[in-house]
Amino acid sequence: MMESIAYLASTIVLLIIWIIFFLARKDARKEMIVMSLLIGIISVVTAHYWWTVDWWRPITLTGTKVGIEDFLMGFGSGGIMAVAYEILFKKRLYKTRMKNVRYPDQNTILLLLAFFTAWLFWGVGLTSFWASTIAMIIAAGTIFYFRRDLFLNGLLSGFLMMVISLFFYFTIIAFSSEWIDKVYYFETLSNVRIFSIPIEEFVFWFLAGMVFGPFYEYWQGKKLRKISCKN
């Protein structure tokens, strides 16, 4: 029983952090909701086609390959990674959009991410970890090439997501110490662990934070600035 609710419980922890961020900054709420819905949907799709093939097969409440937990994890983490840098470092979006700047739009970045992951996974035959890792590096590199001002946002968002993800995994371990051993495909992973957590998870969250931490700013063509004392 504990194994079947461990994944759900860990997503609830993410949602609690999400709510704290949501209540803390009224000005960041639209960004959180947009990114939460986007990553929530992406998480369900990628879980079905990639992650559950050779990375992990989480135990869901319904016993299905993909469960509501996958959406909730994506929803919670999507909103968190989008605004963690802004909230913790007291940044705020400019109200005015960048002008006379042309670069690939947000859909192009998402297509790049999807194309390279799919091609490297199905075409080249790499594992889903390496396929997504390379794809996210390409996506992040594209974002930072055209928006160098977003590099610090991406870098710190990546580090913050690695730290925040610990709450997710520690909750799972608290519910079931054997859960990780049962759901991960260690024959295709390195089996190197930190706090009993596969190192691939930390790489994933760092790169996901790098891509999606500054994604909304890239999408909207806006910049961040320090919140002044009078604000």
Q: Which residues of the chain have pLDDT under 70?
A: 1, 95-101, 228-231
List of residues 6+ apart from 106 with CB closer than 8 A: 215, 218, 219
C-alpha span between 136 and 54 (Å, rounded):
18
For residue 73, give the H/E element and its range: helix 68-88
Residue 131: which residues within 8 A CB-CB, separation 6 or more? 50, 116, 117, 118, 119, 120, 121, 124
Q: What DSSP state is assigned to residue 184?
A: B
pLDDT at 123: 97
The answer to whether 154 and 206 have CB atoms below 8 angstroms apart is no
Distance CA 197, CA 217 (A): 31
The pLDDT score that the predictor gives to residue 97 is 60
Q: What is the pLDDT of residue 20?
A: 97
Q: How far apart are CA 110 and CA 94, in angstroms?
A: 24
Cα–Cα dist 114/95, whole Å: 31
Position 218 scores a pLDDT of 93
Tens digits of residue pLDDT in 62-112: 989 999 999 999 999 999 999 999 999 988 887 666 556 678 899 999 999
pLDDT for the residue 98: 59
Per-residue pLDDT, 192 = 96
- For 165-175, write each residue's pLDDT tens digit: 999 999 999 99
> 3-class SS at 56?
strand
Asked if 77 and 212 touch (Cβ cutoff 8 Å), the reply is no
This model's pTM is above 0.75 = yes
Domain boundaries, the chain: 2-226
Q: Calculate ∠ Cα 195-198-201, nearest 5°.
A: 105
Report how far residue 231's alpha carbon sits from residue 216's, in angstroms, rounded to the nearest whole number: 22
Residue type, 64: T
End-to-end CA distance of the chain: 49
198 forms bridges with which residues in the sheet?
193
CA-nearest of 132, 141, 127 to 113 is 132
